[in-house]
Structure 1
Amino acid sequence: MIIFGTKGYLYQLAMLTLVCGRCGNPAAHALRKRVTKFTLFFVPLFPFSTKYMTQCTFCGAEQSVSKEQAEHLRAQSANDPAHGQPHRQPYRS
């Protein structure tokens, strides 16, 4: 008998101040990375799905972003001297 399946991992990459595209409030947004790995006998072997997203802490709206956008936002948050300045985040449902 072979036991296989998947296991999900959620990594928080950064906290950003963005203007939410849904509620319009300047609020903190969590930049997250969701990785799904294939498992064999409960041992995670390799990732087969990676997704990036932001989530508004005010209204809870979640939005998918590309890997390039996520890397840009993460670098911007690490190097931004005006850390508290909100950036506009378009909302796509």
Structure 2
Amino acid sequence: MIIFGTRGYIYQLAMLTLLCGHCGNPSAHALRKRVTKFTLFFVPLFPVSTKYATQCTFCGAERRLEREEAERLQAQGGMGGGQGGQGFQPGAGGIPQQQNPYQQ
């Protein structure tokens, strides 16, 4: 009998301050990498798929990213490994920046 399957792993790459495209608030976003690995007898052997996403800590909205965009955000966002980031321009790189209706 052979036991095989897949298992998912989530790695937090960075915490970034971005303008959320869903709620419009500038808030912390977790940049995460989700890796699905093929397992044989419960031993992970090789990755089957890798996906990247950011999640807003204010409203919980999640946005999927391409690998290149995730790497760019991690490089611009400061320190990796969940150590908090700074210095990213909201609205750059395909992240929509919404206008504040109360600002004149």
Give me the TM-score of the superposition, normalised by structure 1. Answer: 0.88
1:78 is paired with a residue whose SS is coil
Cα distance, 1:90 vs. partner?
3.1
Q: Which protein has the bigger helix share?
A: 1
The structure with the larger Rg is 2
Give me the TM-score of the superposition, normalised by structure 2. Answer: 0.79
In structure 2, stretches of 5+ residues that fail to align are: 80-84, 98-104
Q: Residues of 2 paired with 1:57 and 1:24: CA distance?
A: 12
User: Does 2:12 align with 1:12?
Assistant: yes
Cα distance, 1:7 vs. partner?
0.6
**CA RMSD across the alignment:** 2.0
Q: 1:1-93 residue pairs with structure 2 within 5 A?
A: 1-78=1-78, 83=86, 87-88=90-91, 89-90=95-96
Q: Percent identity?
A: 71
> In structure 2, what residue type is equivalent to 1:87?
P
> In structure 2, what residue type is equivalent to 1:83?
Q
* Alignment coverage as a number of residue pairs: 89
Q: Which protein has the bigger strand share?
A: 1
Cα distance, 1:87 vs. partner?
1.1
- The 3 A distance-change label for structure 1 pair 15 and 4 is same
Q: Which runs of 4+ in 1 moved over 4 A?
A: none
